[in-house]
Structure 1
Amino acid sequence: MISFVNRVKTIHLTFAAALLVVGSFFAPAAHAQAPLKIGYTSVEYVLSQMPERKQIESDLKAYSTQLEAQMKSKQTAFQTKLDAYQKGGSAMTAVVKADTEKELQGMQQGLQEFSSTAQQSLQQKQQQLLSPALDKIQKNIDLVAAESGYTYVLNSDAGSSPILLHGPKDGDISDLILKKMGITPTAAAPAPNAQPAQQSSATKTPVAPAAAPSKSKGKK
């Protein structure tokens, strides 16, 4: 259910980079007569060097933990109800048994719905937390491009659009962007995993054993 519970330390920077429209890719017509100069940057790398990243990760982990706690609470309530049904179902009347099975089915459906909405909520929270940092990166990309005469600035991160397949090293303005923000570039952070995170086993929606078929209602 919650993709970042176990992997929030390696926040999906590819997702963050995809949110950012890097540079003025569609330059005004006034630039048409100027010499064409193309630069590129890795938004993932720039973001990984920013001090804001630690706070983003911390806030996202806290939010993820809250969602996981809610899910576990719902799972516990469901399991308790299911255990009681499995232990005492044989002694229930047909009416009580049918009502209990219906309640269990409703609880299971509620778990599945919560799993889906929690994932969406976590993605929205991630976007909300990343937005200020991405805006800051965009602002400094624009400043560096204007000062250095770049007509276009592309994103070299895999999975983003546009994707830079090849370029000269002197066209990489990533460190210039960091310096513009007052950040001393360090060694590149480990490449982020662009594959979707696997669902945490602790937060998967439990699947209840098939309930016994409801019998026709009779008198208690």
Structure 2
Amino acid sequence: MNYRFLFAWVLMACMYTGVKANPSQEDGQSQVAPPSLKIGYVDVGYIFGQLPEAIKNGEELQTFQEQLKNQIQLKANELERKFSDYQKQVDTFTEAQQKQKQAELNALHQSFRTLEQQMPVDIEKKYQAVIEPIHQKIKQVIHKIAKEQGYAFVLAKDTPGGPIVFFAQPAFDLSELVLEQLKAMAPKEMEPPVVGPKVQTPAQSSTRSAKTVKKK
């Protein structure tokens, strides 16, 4: 089933503000128009670009990725350098020395391969630690708003598979409301301690003046 088409169809159907009552009467009573569904959508990418916590954690994840890449590059450079040195000096080595150098190169190459294979695993763990909790907070806030304000559907504007909402009136956009509540949930940072000389109080000033002895 094409869920993207289904969601788009539901969105367009739910934008209709109501259904007019049928003028024909049945059993002496006019048909009652069914209530319209209340629907909204959220731009998660926009929220991540505006939420300080998400920006900070996103930068932390990016820094972590760069550190892993640098470690792998350093290991690759070391392997290349040692292999080049081995090729230049191989004719001067005894058979035992050649076997020892080859074992060292194999161990270094295995270490390099291990780093390469472990990198995606480490990045996924870091993502789960710093990004996934924000996704969960966004979901919690969306559920809270939907429940309090009676929304039947809240759709994601964009997904990894592509856009779900191709068009909607701005009045259906709940992104700013979600962002506002997320910012209110963020813990306030502690003010840094004051650095520098303490301000002298009037009492201290007068005490020092009293102790001052005038020279005749």
- State TM-score, norm by structure 1: 0.58
User: Matched residues in 2 for 1:36 and 1:79: separation?
Assistant: 64
Q: Given residue 169 of structure 2, which amino acid in structure 1 is its aligned partner?
A: P
* 3-state SS, counterpart of residue 131 of structure 2: helix
Quick check: 1:154–1:162 contact (8 Å CA) kept in 2?
A: no
The residue correspondences of 1:113-128 to structure 2 (distance < 5 A) are 113-128=114-129
1:108 aligns with 2:109: yes
Query: What's 2:37 paired with?
Result: 36
In structure 1, what is the equivalent of residue 59 of structure 2? Answer: 58
Conservation of the 8 A alpha-carbon contact between 1:144 and 1:180: no
Residue deviations 1:83-129 (CA, integer Å, cap 9, x gap): 32021012223443344334323422331221121122113202210
Displacement of 1:166 in angstroms is 3.6
Deviates more, 1:59-68 or 1:86-95: 59-68
- Corresponding residue of 2:131: 130
Q: Name which structure has the greater RCO, CA cutoff 8 Å, separation 6+.
A: 1
Q: How many Å apart are 1:59 and its aligned residue?
A: 2.2
Judging by fraction of residues, say which structure has more helix.
2
State the Cα distance separating 1:141 from its structure 2 match: 0.8
Percent identical among aligned pairs is 28
TM superposition shift of 1:182: 4.6
Asked if the contact 1:140–1:177 (Cα under 8 Å) also holds between the matched residues in 2, the reply is yes
Q: Is the 8 A contact 1:155 1:161 kept in 2?
A: no
Q: Which amino acid aligns with 2:143?
A: D
Q: Output the amino acid matched with 2:108.
A: M
- How many matched pairs? 151
1:77 and 2:78 matched? yes
Separation in 1, partners of 2:63, 2:148: 40
Deviation at 1:75, TM superposition (A): 2.8
Q: Is the 8 A contact 1:39 1:154 kept in 2?
A: yes
Q: Distance in 2 between matches of 1:165 and 1:86?
A: 60
**In structure 2, do the counterparts of structure 1 residues 34 and 106 end up closer, same or farther at CA, with 3 Å as the change threshold?**
farther
Give the unaligned 5+ runs of structure 2.
1-33, 185-216
How well do the aligned residues superpose, as a CA RMSD in angstroms?
2.7
CA distance in 2, matches of 1:166, 1:159: 18
* Distance in 1, Cα, partners of 2:78 & 2:98: 18
Show structure 1 runs of 5+ residues with no match: 1-32, 184-220
CA distance in 2, matches of 1:163, 1:108: 46
The Cα of 1:70 is off from its aligned counterpart by 3.0
3-state SS in 2 of match to 1:150: coil
- Provide, for residues 142-200 of structure 1, a one-character-per-residue CA deviation record: whole Å limited to 9, x for no partner: 122123221111111142588233433322211221233357xxxxxxxxxxxxxxxxx
Amino acid at match of 2:48: L
Question: Quick check: 1:42–1:155 contact (8 Å CA) kept in 2?
Answer: yes
1:35 & 1:162 partners in 2: Cα distance?
Answer: 24
Verify the 8 A CA contact 1:41 1:172 in the aligned structure 2: yes
User: Given the two structures, how large is their TM-score scaled by the length of structure 2?
Assistant: 0.58
Map of 1:1-220 to 2, 5 A cutoff? 35-160=36-161, 163-182=164-183
Larger-gyration structure (1/2): 2
